Amino acid sequence: MTAADRYVTDLDHEEVLLRRGRRSGLLTIVAVHSTARGRALGGGRLWRYDDNRLALRDALRLSRAMTWKSAVADLPLGGGKGVVVLDATPLTPARRRDALLDFAETVDAFDGRYVTAEDVGTSARDMATIASATPHVTGLSRRRGGSGDPSPWTALGVLAAMRESAERALGSADLAGRRVAVIGLGHVGLPLARLLAKEGASLVVADINRSRRADAEALGARWVSPRTAMRAAVDIVAPCALGGVLDHETVPALRAPIVCGAANNQLADDGIAELLAEHGVLWAPDFVANAGGIVNIGVELRPEGYDPRVARERVRAIGDTVRRVYDDAADRGTTPLDAAMALARARVAAG
Alpha-carbon Rg of the chain, whole angstroms?
20
State how beta strands 40-41 and 282-283 pair. unpaired
H/E stretch holding 130: helix 124-131
Using a 10 angstrom Cβ sphere, with 0-12 exposed, 13-18 middle and 19 or more buried, the burial of residue 31 is buried
State how beta strands 202-206 and 179-183 pair. parallel
Annotated catalytic sites, by residue?
81
Cα end-to-end distance, the chain, whole Å = 35
Contact 188, 194 (CB under 8 A): no
Alpha carbon distances (Å) from 86 to 131, 202, 263: 21, 40, 23
